[in-house]
Amino acid sequence: MIHILYNIILGIASPIISMLGVFSNKVSVFNKGRKHVFEQLAAKLGSPDRVIWFHAASLGEFEQARPLIEACRNEFRNHKILLTFFSASGYEIQENYANVDFVSYLPIDTSANVKKFMNVIAPELAVFIKYEFWPNYFTEMSKRKIPLISVSSIFRTNSSVFQMVWKRIQKTITWSSSFFCSKRTLKKLTRNDWC
């Protein structure tokens, strides 16, 4: 039920966000950055490339991912590395980051976008940093049995939103998934919660 409601809200919000770009420079940058994202991804990545995908919301999360990206670059020389950002602040500063093959905005988490994104890049592994939990991406990765690692994950167990969302995440992520959590959130989470 929560997932259905989430998709309805996204379906309503997406055209509204597009229209708000007229009034807000930040929203305009957000929209323009995603306008040709699938064509750009297809030009840089795709079959037969073997892709490792890192996703960070913004610059701070990217800095947490940087050592892992650099280790992957050294270890997996036959793979291409994709780095996606949700926000412009991370993307604009790291657009030409040398340790990845391509930097992109993350398409909005609609079912259609997610399927198209996965069809284009077909990652062998996905690494999400900290607060990034996108239900449709997680569901699609689970269906396609793409291993998912969440690094520096933060769960606030006393939050009512957490209680609702966590049950959905547990049902969604059935494949090879690992959550590496912030120590302060571990007290109420069990080993079965992947932390």
pLDDT digits (tens, 9 = 90+) for 115-157: 999 999 999 999 999 877 788 998 899 889 898 888 877 666 6
Q: Are 54 and 90 in contact (CB under 8 A)?
A: no
SS3 36: coil
Q: Are 141 and 121 in contact (CB under 8 A)?
A: no
Residue with tokens 């995440």: 169
Q: Is 98 exposed, middle or buried (0-12, 13-18, 19+ CB in 10 A)?
A: exposed
Is position 27 within any domain?
no
Is position 18 within any domain?
no
What is the C-alpha to C-alpha distance for residues 150 and 146, in angstroms, rounded to an integer? Answer: 13
**pLDDT tens-digit map of 46-105:** 778 899 999 999 999 999 999 999 999 999 999 999 999 999 889 999 999 999 999 999
Predicted pLDDT at 179:
56
Residue 192 has pLDDT above 90, yes or no: no
Residue span of the structural domain in which 163 resides: 2-11+50-193
Is position 20 within any domain?
no
Could you tell me what percentage of the chain is helix, strand and coil, using 3-state DSSP and rounding each to the nearest 5?
50, 15, 30
Count of domains in the chain? 1
Average pLDDT over residues 170-177: 54
Structure confidence at residue 189 as a pLDDT band (50, 70, 90): very low
Is position 40 within any domain?
no
Choose among 186, 178, 191: nearest CA to 128. Answer: 178
Residue with tokens 């919660």: 193
Is position 124 within any domain?
yes
Six-digit token string for 124: 């062998």
Q: Are 56 and 126 in contact (CB under 8 A)?
A: no
Choose among 50, 126, 116, 122: nearest CA to 84. Answer: 126
Is position 98 within any domain?
yes
CATH number at residue 128: 3.40.50.11720
Predicted pLDDT at 187:
38
Is position 42 within any domain?
no
Is position 6 within any domain?
yes
